[in-house]
Amino acid sequence: MAGTTGITNIYLYNKYINSVNTLGHEELGTNIDLVNNLIEKKCARNFGSDTYKEWVEASSMSYVVLNNYPITKVKLVSLNSVDYLTVEGSNVSLATVSSNNSSVVLSTIATDGSTETEDVLNFASYSNVSSMVSAINLLTNWDAETLSGYDDKITALMRPIDTDWALDQKVYLSGPHLGSKASISYDTESSVLDLGSDFWDDCRWGNRSDSFVNKYVFVWYTAGYTLPICSESGGTLDTSGNVPKGLTLIANAIIKDYIDSRDEDRNMREEEQGDYKFKRDDMSSAIDRHWHDLNVYARKSV
**Torsion sign across C-alpha atoms 262, 293, 56, 222:** negative
Count of structural domains, the chain: 2
In contact, 246 and 253? CB cutoff 8 Å: no
**Domain assignment present for 5:** no
Judge whether residue 273 has pLDDT over 60: no
Q: Range of 168's domain?
A: 51-223
**Torsion sign across C-alpha atoms 121, 122, 127, 128:** positive
pLDDT in tens, 180-235: 788 887 666 667 777 766 555 555 444 443 344 456 789 999 999 999 999 998 99
Judge whether residue 278 has pLDDT over 50: no
Task: Give me Rg for the CA atoms of the chain.
Answer: 25
Q: Provide the whole-model pTM.
A: 0.77
CA 179 to CA 16: how far, in whole Å? 46
**Domain assignment present for 112:** yes
Type of residue found at 291: W
Residue 150's Cα: distance from chain center in Å?
Answer: 27
What values do phi and psi take at 79, rounded to 5?
-85, 5
Judge whether residue 249 has pLDDT over 80: yes
**Domain assignment present for 56:** yes
CA 279 to CA 263: how far, in whole Å? 10
pLDDT in tens, 120-144: 999 999 999 999 999 999 999 999 9
**Do residues 75 and 208 share a domain?**
yes
**Domain assignment present for 234:** no
In contact, 48 and 225? CB cutoff 8 Å: yes
**Do residues 100 and 17 share a domain?**
no
What is the reported pLDDT for 57?
A: 79
**Domain assignment present for 21:** yes
**Domain assignment present for 228:** no
**Domain assignment present for 231:** no
What values do phi and psi take at 221, rounded to 5?
-150, 165
**Do residues 149 and 264 share a domain?**
no
CA 206 to CA 80: how far, in whole Å? 8
3-state secondary structure 54-104: EEEECCCCCEEECCCCCEEEEEEEECCEEEEEEEEECCCCEEEEEECCCEE
In contact, 137 and 144? CB cutoff 8 Å: yes
